[in-house]
Amino acid sequence: MTKKFAVTVLGGGSFGTALASIAADNGFPVKQWMRDENLAQNINEQRRNTRYLPDYEINQNVQATTDVIDAVSGADVIFVAIPSKAFSAVVDKARAYLSKDQIMISTAKGIQEDGFLLMSEILKTHTPSEHVGVLSGPNLAKEIAQKQMTATVVASDDAFTRETIQQVLGCSYFRVYASNDLFGVELGGALKNIYAIASGMASALGVGENTKSMLITRSLAEMSRFAVAMGANPMTFLGLSGVGDLIVTCTSPLSRNYRVGHALGEGKTLAEAVESLGQVAEGVNTIRLVRNKSIEMGVYMPLACALYEVLFNDQSVKKVIHGLMTGEQSTDVEFVLPR
């Protein structure tokens, strides 16, 4: 018999809302915490997240709340769907009411600036949970809300965590595959945002299909090189959380980071591009953090460094592209032929 795990989602954004409704569709009781009282009321009364997914009807089993203590107390599974900048602050609010037996899953695709920490590291150090994992993959929230066929990866050192999340979220339109490479899966989700910005820029400039293909595959080489230096398994990047997430984020106008890049390619300033989005684009902060970390670690990352110059030093996009095309011609896949 399937246990009816009590599920909580911390976060009122589009992805958290989509996850809450999947779990509810699967018959699990769900609480969704958010700061905005009006949004919580809209979800409870109109069954709509009127800010992020206004066209999507939310399952009746989802109960929205602005009380974080109520949300986490008694939960068996907690998804933390909070942007990286606010992630630890929200977790710390709930910290005193969490237990070692609760499963804690990060869905954030970003990195905390202080200490260059991944979200799983925050969950391991800021909570008593013995069951920490991450969820990442090519998962555009709007398509999940429309019940388009989608797959994701749950990564954890703990088999119980992986199997529970597969049970809670797996359904006819949402497949959950397992991994034990937390760093690889998590870094795949964070790093691909950088290259989605580059891809959006390229699209706005009207580049050809050859160029787009080159950009995506060299992005994959660069992100896997960095992740392996951080302790990830390079094979992880052949899966959904690596090349899968990279493809969807670099080719879809539904991707927030792609839209920021497209606006930059059209000549908007970074401030204008971010303002026109109206939501958090994790890649903007990630570019700065990863560029600085790659220099510190001595990891060759020409794309990330070039994007940093465009976003933060007002370099022209065309000048940066020229620099990339006259850079080092080294190995294709350095895990096959070393650099």
Catalytic (active-site) positions: 192
C-alpha–C-alpha distance, residues 250 and 286, integer Å: 16
Q: How many helices (H) and strands (E) does the chain have?
A: 15, 10
Biggest CA pair distance of the chain? 61
For CA atoms 157, 152, 82, 280, the dihedral sign is positive
d(CA 118, CA 109): 9
Specify the 3-state DSSP secondary structure of 168: helix
Using DSSP, state whether 64 is helix, strand or coil.
Answer: strand
**SS3 at position 25:** helix
**Shortest CA distance to 52 belongs to which of 81, 14, 11, 12?**
14
Per the structure block, which two tokens stand in for 172? 């006819």
Cβ–Cβ under 8 Å, residues 339 and 263 = no
Task: Give which of 93, 103, 163 is closest to 130, Cα–Cα.
Answer: 103
Question: What letter represents residue 300's amino acid?
Answer: Y
The conformation of residue 58, written as its DSSP 8-state character, comes to P
